[in-house]
Structure 1
Amino acid sequence: MKIVCVGAGPAGLYFAISAKRSDPSRDITVLERDPQGATYGWGVVYWDDMLDLLYVNDPESGRALRRASTLWKDQEIHVSGGVAHLGGYGFAMQRAEFLETLVDRARRLGVTVEYDHPVEDLTPFADADLIVAADGAGSRTRQLHGDHFGTRVETGANPYIWLGTDMVFPSFVFAFEKTPAGWLWFHAYPSSGTVSTCIVECTETTWRALGMDERDEDDGIRLLAQIFERSLQGHSLISQSRGEPARWLRFKEVSNRTWWHDNVVLIGDAAHTTHFTIGSGTRLAVIDAVELVRSLDDFPGDLAAALRDFDHRARPNLERVQRHARGSMNWYEHADDYLDGRDAVDAAYAMATRNSPPSSMRERVFRAEQLRPARLVQGAVDTAQRLILAARRGELPFVPSWHPGPPPAGREQARDIALARERAAR
């Protein structure tokens, strides 16, 4: 089977790895329009459910990614100097290193990965059995098929900018600061031992009142660093990532009526996007890759049946995730209403319940969890859970793994990854 994968992001590379590992006879080429190493953005964040899937589907790349990841503990909410806590933990790493790890694994499996290779026309791939469109939210491959996919793109209201900082946060930090122009906030997490990812967001009204639409890059970054000086503890914000300056964006939610047409299938951001405030983009890209390979394995020799199966199973789950992400995006688009007149604990509770109805009991529990003894207990529980899951995956060399040996193929593999997939789809 000859497969051309357009786009060397997480979805395209992990699909190539999974497909080649499942059937080494597959001839797979990944084409990327940008030069190798040129990636916009700083870090990716993920949780145990994605690690579970990585370790079951391809333990070698799972171990490599985990080794390169940074562990963060607790979630802190800073509101004009006050601090509240949400608990929990997760993992993060530099996006460039994440992709380089996958490229290395794919090439060692026999996948061809070519850079500086933009795809504007599918005619050169007429001999390909399958074309996988993994070329992002603005997918050119998807656009070449007109409206066959039933694409819908909705643009969010808030401007945001994806930055780095030399402040290495030990926790996942949400910082909200009030200015005369309105509220601004950032989402930050450590993505290596030397830098953190820092996504700054605000309403359109605040953005314009601060003159961000007219300031040059350096002036705008300096102003943001001043606004967030308290949470950054005097550290700087960094705009340049691999030579490219960050730019203000508006989030684009992409959805499609179907994810396949003829021998072309959409995965990752080409098929769907979810707002960055729920941190699911990379995880969902990996799930798409694994699910597509599962369908190809389950329907050998019948591409249409395989793509129909993939679309039938994967798309409905994603629609539920998008509804959740849409609710989160809506909360931040009206964040000023939830922040004015509230202290850190009140604001943190409003943020924590943004996708669920609040209740007096839940609020009392939340407030109790702000006490240091309760946080210490929760931290111990989180650590125990993390170690149990790490042992099950085989991360701990001195503890037998719950999943020995390579993962089985086909429907048996589907059963093994079901729990991780279902958790990630919620």
Structure 2
Amino acid sequence: MNLERVAVIGGGPGGLYAARLLKRSHPDAEVTVYEQSSPDTTFGFGVGLASRTQRNLRDADAASLDAIVAAAHPHEMSMQVGSEVARLAHGDLLAIARTTLLAVLQQHAQDAGVHLRFGERREAADLDADLVIAADGINSATRTQLTDEFEPRIDTGAGLYLWCGTDFALPSAIFVPVITEHGTFVAHAYPYAADRSTFLIETDEATWRRAGFDASTDRTAPQDSDEVSLQYLQDAFAETLQHHRLIGNRTKWMRFRTVGCTRWHSGNVVLLGDAAHTAHYSIGSGTKLAMEDAIALDHALTSAANLDDALTEYERIRRPAVEHLQQIAHRSELWWESFPQRMDLPVDQLMIAYMTRAGKVGLDRFAESAPTVVSQGLASYASRPAGTVSPTDITDWILAQPLAHHGADFATRIAPADLRDAPTTAKLDVVSTAAWDAEADTVVDNAPQAEILWLTGPDSRVAVLNRLDLAERLLRATSATVVVEAPETHRADVAAGLASARAHLAFFTEPASAEPEPVMSGTGAPT
């Protein structure tokens, strides 16, 4: 297909990367990026790049990836609760300052022959181009102007978070909660340069209000940072910060917005990155998704006979992976919003719960990269001495452990079949689509007063994961022994749920019908 002029609205990582790839695959085309800000203006701090993302970028354009890696900062991962720390050794996790990443991508776009126009705000309707790529972010003006064509939908999370940074490099990425007089705050932090770290902090609305941050948010001007919150959090996380300061950059409390669109293209205009979709920060970055969008768009434009076919193919190929990741990200978002209730778990078992929270990483796979953490976590699950657990088949081992709960003893974690219809058992058919929505709240608030709560429902993997999440809520809200029923095909997921304290017991059935499971978009690094 012949492209003479390509216009990109938005000079973030996705727009710059798309421009470079398209200029390389269509060398005769005039490719121009329009960015309303100056070249060195950016918001945010570091950008993380997991190993799977690095492989995708290397396959698409090794030269730019080499430059990114050369400027990036490697790190490992840890979780701390109180004085307990679980550490993961992983050499493939990288982070880079967003300003540095933009500088690298700007240079490589120019080296390819892309024209960069800064300080220019353009609208799709005003651009004379064969193709207009709208990479103009979560607040996309293009998406807003073409609402009827794209049909966007935006869901807002219940929790609140803010982005800030600090002026030293943490020894590793870390997840750490602190409890203040107002409630619990959780930091997701990681180093991205020799003297800088990203610090993302989240909390629930009740804690946010008790701390007075609703008022400080209202008082903070759009161009400013919420200094009241930054000072409070700097004191709260002083130990983790090693008494360094927190740095703001238009830092204010926000609620995460999950963006989706019925269509990603209309005529010669196509959405890319956050303009088309977002996924919660706890599972992956918008930068990763936008740059992988750019790769898919370039492939489609290179192979299709005409523009409409290309944009249709781009969406056909890319949408399932994005929507699957959004589904995983939403489950992760809800897990983090309810994180404080799990702080009673030993830290290694909590790390197992974290890694398996969304169904993206299986416990067997996690054990390959972190055998010590998994061994310690399983020891806590089974109430065994630390260092005495090294199963060859983790799933079978988890299911074989005995359970004593509220005066009842079970030889294994597989519930006896006759318990299902016992007089002391209440069966709950779980049909809600999320474990933390209003329908699920009603189930938890009105849970039967029974010795056994037996959860059944559809056979799909998504339904089973949802059932495990609801089981966790019931486990913590009632004194019942909670059983999750699932097909044998989801045995590993249920075992991981048991080890993560999401349920007490499992019961397995043959699936009603063989249904294909969605392809998991795994990464080589924990996320």
What's the CA shift for 1:161?
A: 0.8
Aligned to 2:14: 11
1:163 aligned counterpart, secondary structure: strand
**How far apart, CA to CA, are the structure 1 residues paired with 2:232 and 2:271?**
40
Aligned to 2:375: 368
* Residue 62 (structure 1) aligned with residue 69 (structure 2): no
Greater than 6 Å deviation, 4+ residue runs: 357-365
- Taking a change above 3 Å as real, the CA distance of residues 289 and 175 of structure 1, as seen in their structure-2 partners, is same
Which of the numbers 42, 47, 50 marks the counterpart of 2:50? 47
Which of the numbers 76, 79, 87 marks the counterpart of 2:78? 76
- Taking a change above 3 Å as real, the CA distance of residues 278 and 296 of structure 1, as seen in their structure-2 partners, is same
**How far apart, CA to CA, are the structure 1 residues paired with 2:50 and 2:361?**
25
* Residue 214 (structure 1) aligned with residue 215 (structure 2): yes
State the one-letter code of the partner of 1:39.
T
> In 2, are the aligned partners of 1:79 and 1:347 still within 8 Å (CA)?
no
State the one-letter code of the partner of 1:218.
E
State the one-letter code of the partner of 1:219.
V
**How far apart, CA to CA, are the structure 2 residues paired with 1:176 and 1:144?**
41
1:254-305 superposed Cα distances (whole Å, 9 cap, x missing partner) = 01112111111111111110100112322211111011011111014x1001
> In 2, are the aligned partners of 1:80 and 1:178 still within 8 Å (CA)?
no
Which of the numbers 324, 330, 355 marks the counterpart of 2:328? 324
**How far apart, CA to CA, are the structure 2 residues paired with 1:424 and 1:317?**
13
Superposition RMSD in Å: 2.6
What's the CA shift for 1:11?
A: 0.9
What's the CA shift for 1:156?
A: 1.0
What's the CA shift for 1:136?
A: 0.5
1:110-133 superposed Cα distances (whole Å, 9 cap, x missing partner) = 1111111123x43321x3111101
Aligned to 1:398: none
Q: How does 1:2-401 map to 2 (within 5 A)?
A: 2-73=5-76, 75-89=77-91, 90-119=93-122, 121-125=123-127, 127-215=128-216, 217-240=226-249, 245-300=250-305, 302-339=306-343, 341-356=344-359, 366-368=373-375
1:15-48 superposed Cα distances (whole Å, 9 cap, x missing partner) = 0010011121111111111122111000000122
2:160 aligned counterpart, secondary structure: strand
How many equivalent residue pairs? 370
1:31 aligned counterpart, secondary structure: strand
TM-score (normalizing by structure 2): 0.66
- Taking a change above 3 Å as real, the CA distance of residues 367 and 65 of structure 1, as seen in their structure-2 partners, is closer
**How far apart, CA to CA, are the structure 2 residues paired with 1:140 and 1:26?**
25
Structure 2 alignment gaps of length 5 or more:
221-225, 380-385, 388-519
Percent identity over paired residues: 33
1:62-88 superposed Cα distances (whole Å, 9 cap, x missing partner) = 111111000102x21111232123443
2:17 aligned counterpart, secondary structure: helix
Aligned to 1:396: none
State the one-letter code of the partner of 1:316.
P
1:168 aligned counterpart, secondary structure: coil
- Taking a change above 3 Å as real, the CA distance of residues 7 and 358 of structure 1, as seen in their structure-2 partners, is closer
> In 1, are the aligned partners of 2:167 and 2:195 still within 8 Å (CA)?
yes
Higher helix share: 1
**How far apart, CA to CA, are the structure 2 residues paired with 1:23 and 1:336?**
51
State the one-letter code of the partner of 1:351.
Y
1:369-400 superposed Cα distances (whole Å, 9 cap, x missing partner) = 579x99xxxxxxxxxxxxxxxxxxxxxxxxxx
State the one-letter code of the partner of 1:154.
D
> In 1, are the aligned partners of 2:349 and 2:374 still within 8 Å (CA)?
no
> In 1, are the aligned partners of 2:159 and 2:204 still within 8 Å (CA)?
yes
1:320-367 superposed Cα distances (whole Å, 9 cap, x missing partner) = 00000000000111112222x334334333322312499999999745
1:151-178 superposed Cα distances (whole Å, 9 cap, x missing partner) = 1101111111111112311211111111
- Taking a change above 3 Å as real, the CA distance of residues 235 and 343 of structure 1, as seen in their structure-2 partners, is farther
**How far apart, CA to CA, are the structure 1 residues paired with 2:17 and 2:171?**
29
State the one-letter code of the partner of 1:77.
M
Structure 1 alignment gaps of length 5 or more:
375-420
> In 2, are the aligned partners of 1:283 and 1:424 still within 8 Å (CA)?
no
**How far apart, CA to CA, are the structure 2 residues paired with 1:84 and 1:152?**
38
**How far apart, CA to CA, are the structure 1 residues paired with 2:230 and 2:83?**
21
**How far apart, CA to CA, are the structure 1 residues paired with 2:181 and 2:286?**
34
- Taking a change above 3 Å as real, the CA distance of residues 46 and 124 of structure 1, as seen in their structure-2 partners, is same
> In 1, are the aligned partners of 2:85 and 2:347 still within 8 Å (CA)?
yes
Higher relative contact order by CA 8 Å / sep ≥ 6: 1 or 2?
Answer: 1
**How far apart, CA to CA, are the structure 2 residues paired with 1:27 and 1:151?**
30
- Taking a change above 3 Å as real, the CA distance of residues 358 and 102 of structure 1, as seen in their structure-2 partners, is closer
What's the CA shift for 1:108?
A: 1.6
State the one-letter code of the partner of 1:259.
W
TM-score (normalizing by structure 1): 0.81
